[in-house]
Amino acid sequence: MSNIIRPGDGIIFMKVGTHAQEPLEAIIARKKKEIADTGFGLWGYGGPTCHPLSMVQPFAKSFEKRGRTIYLCMEEMESKHFADPVRADQSSADGVNWLDITRSINVVGSRYALVIKQLRREVLDLPLSETRVAVGPSTGRVGDIYVSGRVDKACLEIIGGPSARHGPEESKHISLVADLAPPYAVFLRNRP
């Protein structure tokens, strides 16, 4: 396992690719510019497995209290996400109080976004059998069992050492990593 993630660390695992008709390389370039111009970027996504309030924020805050960095570890995949590239106008950490998104940030085609900094290419193999789901109804479930089928993202804790589960080891090939920053995850919308 990479030296950037150690037992006891928290990661958000996510599969990434083309999104809202934009190829991944263009998204990466845009996010790096956002971070350079604004100090952070918003990495858009959808789906309930990483809901901002019930999953990502409690997960990230628990690792923050332990003095740990929370990483977003991304596995590239073929994607055909052809939703309209509609730019979000506002974000909210709590779903109640909304703020306009600065023009230097362009997050499109998403319901939620992770707050990221220090986006970089980093190649590592992530053995999901050495992780556990860290929050929500599946807490404690082995990562390689949880991340299967249509599940493409998860809040995981690195436990180190393979699980007691028998079967072939499955590693995810991570090629993109970002550090998460408070408030970690936000809701997105267009102005009402």
- Cα separation of 111 and 125, whole Å? 29
Model's pTM, two decimal places?
Answer: 0.91
Residue 169 has a pLDDT of: 61
Mean pLDDT of 131-155: 92
Q: Pick from 163, 183, 189: which is nearest to 53 by CA?
A: 183
Q: In what helix (H) or strand (E) does residue 174 lie, and over which residues does it extend?
A: strand 171-189
Q: Is residue 5 part of a domain?
A: no
Mean pLDDT of 21-46: 92
Phi (first) and psi of residue 141, to 5 degrees? -70, 140
Residue whose token pair is 């995981």:
156
Q: Is residue 171 part of a domain?
A: yes
Bridge partners of residue 121, in order along the sequence: 176
Q: Is residue 34 part of a domain?
A: yes
Q: Is residue 52 part of a domain?
A: yes
pLDDT in tens, 82-99: 667 788 999 999 999 999
Q: Is residue 28 part of a domain?
A: yes
Bridge partners of residue 127, in order along the sequence: 171
- Cα separation of 144 and 98, whole Å? 36
Q: Which residue has the higher pLDDT, 172 or 4?
A: 172
Q: How confident is the model at residue 191 (pLDDT cuts 50, 70, 90)?
A: confident
How many domains does the chain contain in total? 1
Q: Pick from 190, 31, 192, 47: which is nearest to 119 by CA?
A: 31
User: Whole domain around residue 155: which residue ranges?
Assistant: 10-189
The set of residues, in sequence order, having a beta carbon less than 8 Å from that of 147 and lying 6+ positions away, is: 13, 128, 153, 154, 172
